[in-house]
């Protein structure tokens, strides 16, 4: 690990280190730290006395409106409800104790809290609340709200929260000081828990069930409140001019729009046409074909709409097709490998996506934690104890999928797939793949979203048919799809795997055995090897020399189990916007940085679209 913080000079000038002699001489000295800024991995980017983030204009003008969009619908405003389709932005109503920045995602900077005190036992922490902190109705945010928030999540929140935080205790010491206690030493869990904890108002939520949908907007604590909405169609967030934290260093130059309006569309093609007509202002494009063929016309020619491309150089969201491993026909890894070979990425990428996609080969894509080549001695240290329960391929070259010739036939891969299926006990009978033991045909359902582009599905279906497999394609609306996903009522469905910048305790929820009820684990893959390596990762967050081989060892197991079919990710970020905004000179590393933009009335007035009316 990094040298223990007690033995090195603090990296922050305001940190204090105070040894406290234990009552019993035989016990080691406990060291206490007091920090305003702290990091899980490496050094914080900004010093304790920084004035503003480098990717903002601290003097950006306030005003105007930005119009955004979402695909789907919503039926409530409780992002943390156990059912329903919540409004996509509703979690932004609540601030957290500390906050990360879009250029320093592993550090935490003061927001509701002013500082944290903890010991090198990593069993407890005390957090100091800013006495100026207020909810949007003007009532103070206190330590009692923090305590209430934790117990509300533990009693009425999702089950994975209760599992992850079992044994944790949060107690208000006084109005502006709260104590967090862990059942055992865990540096990463303690610091990330405190750093990312959102705070909800006790005076509002004590009268509402946190697990149930909320039909009216709640009281929040963030810079925007909901001022107008039509359920399922649109919502308007209005900037709170009295937001107490607007001048904090982490907020200067951010949240510059007076209003943010989000319109909901059921279909991506309709949403694209609405953008080109000026119905909303910003659009990220995930379909390369659209980018190269549809983003054109008089408003593009006049530079009313600006197109931007940004190379993907950091951890990236990836797209996969998740097998539901609870289904009997997917339990044999050879079957999963065969079906993976039937997905002809090379042809799809060329025929439909202008060769703009790359295929993921890791669950740590674009990071140093992705497995490569054969395992190192350090990786083998973590793999060998589980050699009897993990795939043999985990000890060989890193995961990859054989490429097709890109001509649409995929012959070699289908021949290999047919052999794997035969080895797994499936035979061809009357043109259909049949289980040799029970004579059941191989048929399954691909579940997709109704408004999603699923051009890939038909060629995939045809390739599977060549193997004798019948794949039914079912498209559902957002609410139905969400319900079936939560109930794990599907055979296969597309899943986004969020960017993992570095291995952390988040992996427990994504892959841990205790979190199988979590909708994050799309496939349901779990085993003792995965659990044990993740436990070691949690202990070594911050210790790069151990974290790299641990991450790579885990990656080898996850990929070689074939829990999901790798589809693609964009090699570039494509986005377009109407040219009526000012932007800072610097863009953050991990985001486009729309929150740092501002409305430019002169640019808006000069748009040819506006001059037409």
- Mean pLDDT of the 139-162 span: 94
- Within 8 A by CB and 6+ apart from 47, the residues are 12, 13, 37
Q: Where in the chain are the domains?
A: 32-64+73-206, 318-570
pLDDT band with cut points at 50, 70 and 90 for residue 16: very low
Q: What is the mean pLDDT of the chain?
A: 92
Three-state SS for 177? Answer: strand
pLDDT band at 82 (very low <50, low <70, confident <90, very high): confident
CA distances from 202 to 19, 86, 140, 221, 311 (A): 36, 21, 11, 12, 44
Do the Cβ atoms of 425 and 433 come closer than 8 Å?
A: no
Cβ-Cβ contacts under 8 Å for 537 (sequence gap 6 or more): 503, 504, 505, 507, 547, 550, 551, 554
Q: Which CATH number does 32-64+73-206 carry?
A: 3.40.190.10
Q: Is 521 helix (H, G, I), strand (E, B) or coil?
A: coil
What's the CA gap between 606 and 608, in Å, rounded?
A: 6
Banded pLDDT at 15 (limits 50, 70, 90):
very low
CB-based contacts of 39: which residues, under 8 Å, 6+ apart? 104, 106, 107, 108
pLDDT greater than 50 at residue 25:
no
Which pLDDT band, with edges at 50, 70 and 90, does 479 fall under? confident
Q: Quick one: pLDDT at residue 161?
A: 87
CATH number belonging to domain 318-570: 3.10.105.10
| pLDDT for position 26 | 53
How confident is the model over 192-208, as a mean pLDDT?
A: 96
pTM score of the predicted model: 0.81
Residue 12 pLDDT exceeds 80: no
- Write b or e for each residue in 449-485: b if 16 or more Cβ atoms lie within 10 A of its Cβ, otherwise e: bbbbbeebbebbbebbeebbbebeeeebebbebbeeb
What torsion do the CA atoms of 551, 554, 558, 559 make, to the nearest 10 degrees?
Answer: 60
The tens digit of pLDDT for each residue in 415-444 reads 999 999 999 999 999 999 999 999 999 999
In angstroms, rounded to a whole number, what is the distance separating the alpha carbons of residues 180 and 39?
18
Look at residue 27 in the predicted model and tell me its pLDDT. 57
% residues pLDDT > 70 (the chain): 95
Instruction: Find out whether 580 and 609 touch, Cβ atoms under 8 Å.
Output: no
What pLDDT is recorded for position 80?
A: 92
Distance CA 394, CA 520 (A): 24
Task: Write the pLDDT tens digit of every residue in 218-228.
Answer: 999 999 999 99
State pLDDT tens for residues 229-246. 999 999 999 999 999 999
To the nearest 10°, the Cα dihedral for 385, 389, 392, 397?
-70
DSSP H helical segments within 520-573, as ranges? 528-540, 544-560
Q: Give the span between the Cα atoms of 43 and 107, in whole angstroms.
A: 8
The gap between the terminal CA atoms of the chain, to the nearest Å, is 64
Task: State the Cα angle at 483 between 481 and 489, rounded to 5°.
Answer: 85
Q: Are 133 and 245 in contact (CB under 8 A)?
A: yes
Greatest alpha-carbon span in the chain: 83
The predicted model gives 476-486 an average pLDDT of 89
In angstroms, the CA 280 to CA 264 distance is 11
For residue 28, the model assigns a pLDDT of: 65
Helices (H), 377-516: 377-383, 411-423, 457-466, 478-486, 506-511
Contact between 19 and 31 (Cβ < 8 Å): yes
Give the 3-state secondary structure of residue 259. strand
Q: How far apart are CA 46 and CA 37, in angstroms?
A: 9
In this structure, the chain runs to a length of 613
Per-residue model confidence as pLDDT tens digits over 489-520 = 999 999 999 989 899 988 999 999 988 877 88
Q: Region 254-260: what's the mean pLDDT?
A: 98
Q: How far is CA 304 from CA 262, 298, 608, in A?
A: 21, 9, 7
Alpha helices in 41-170, H assignment, sequence order? 143-156, 159-164
**Region at 224 (left for phi over 0; alpha for psi -120 to 50; beta for the rest):** beta
Query: Are 239 and 223 within 8 A, CB to CB?
Result: yes
């Amino acid at each position: 690990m990094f040298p223990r913080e007690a033995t090195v000079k603090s990296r922050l000038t305001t940190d204090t280190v105070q040894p406290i002699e234990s009552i019993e001489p035989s016990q080691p000295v406990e060291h206490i730290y007091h920090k305003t800024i702290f990091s899980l991995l490496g050094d914080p980017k900004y010093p304790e006395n920084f004035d503003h983030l480098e990717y903002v204009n601290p003097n950006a003008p306030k005003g105007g409106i930005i119009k955004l969009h979402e695909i789907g619908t919503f039926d409530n405003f409780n992002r943390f409800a156990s059912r329903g389709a919540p409004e996509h932005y509703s979690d932004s109503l609540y601030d957290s104790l500390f906050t990360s920045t879009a250029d320093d995602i592993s550090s935490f900077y003061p927001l509701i809290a002013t500082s944290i005190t903890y010991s090198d036992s990593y069993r407890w922490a005390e957090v100091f609340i800013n006495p100026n902190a207020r909810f949007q109705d003007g009532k103070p945010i206190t330590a009692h709200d923090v305590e209430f928030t934790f117990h509300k999540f533990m009693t009425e929140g999702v089950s994975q929260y209760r599992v992850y935080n079992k044994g944790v205790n949060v107690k208000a010491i006084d109005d502006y000081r709260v104590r967090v206690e862990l059942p055992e030493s865990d540096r990463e869990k303690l610091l990330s828990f405190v750093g990312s904890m959102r705070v909800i108002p006790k005076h509002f939520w004590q009268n509402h069930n946190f697990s149930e949908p909320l039909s009216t907007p709640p009281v929040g604590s963030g810079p925007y409140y909901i001022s107008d909405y039509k359920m399922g169609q649109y919502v308007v967030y209005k900037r709170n001019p009295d937001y107490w934290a607007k001048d904090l260093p982490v907020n200067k130059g951010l949240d510059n729009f007076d209003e943010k309006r989000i319109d909901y569309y059921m279909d991506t093609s309709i949403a694209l046409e609405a953008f080109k007509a000026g119905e909303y202002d910003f659009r990220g494009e995930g379909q390369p074909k659209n980018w190269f063929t549809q983003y054109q016309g008089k408003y593009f020619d006049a530079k009313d709409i600006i197109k931007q491309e940004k190379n993907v150089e950091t951890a990236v969201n990836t797209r996969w097709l998740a097998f539901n491993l609870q289904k009997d026909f997917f339990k044999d890894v050879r079957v999963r490998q065969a079906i993976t070979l039937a997905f002809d990425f090379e042809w799809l990428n060329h025929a439909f996506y202008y060769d703009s996609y790359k295929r993921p080969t890791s669950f740590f894509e674009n990071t140093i934690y992705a497995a490569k080549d054969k395992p190192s001695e350090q990786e083998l240290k973590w793999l060998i104890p589980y050699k009897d329960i993990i795939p043999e391929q985990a000890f060989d070259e890193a995961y990859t999928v054989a490429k097709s010739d890109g001509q649409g036939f995929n012959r070699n891969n289908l021949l290999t797939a047919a052999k794997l299926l035969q080895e797994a006990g499936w035979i061809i009978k009357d043109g259909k793949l049949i289980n040799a033991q029970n004579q059941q045909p191989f048929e399954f359902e691909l579940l997709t979203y109704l408004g999603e582009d699923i051009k890939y599905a038909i060629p995939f279906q045809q390739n599977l048919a060549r193997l004798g497999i019948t794949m039914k394609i079912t498209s559902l609306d957002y609410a139905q799809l969400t319900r079936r996903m939560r109930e794990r009522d599907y055979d296969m469905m597309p899943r986004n795997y969020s960017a993992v910048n570095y291995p952390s305790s988040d992996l427990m929820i994504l892959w841990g055995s205790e979190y199988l009820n979590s909708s994050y684990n799309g496939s349901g893959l779990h085993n003792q090897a995965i659990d044990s390596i993740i436990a070691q990762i949690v202990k070594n967050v911050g210790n790069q020399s151990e974290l790299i081989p641990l991450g790579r060892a885990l990656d080898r197991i996850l990929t070689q189990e074939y829990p999901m079919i790798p589809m693609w990710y964009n090699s570039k970020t494509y986005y377009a916007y109407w040219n009526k905004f000012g932007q800072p000179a610097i863009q953050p590393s991990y985001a486009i940085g729309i929150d740092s933009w501002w409305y430019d009335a002169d640019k808006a007035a000069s748009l040819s679209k506006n001059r037409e009316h």
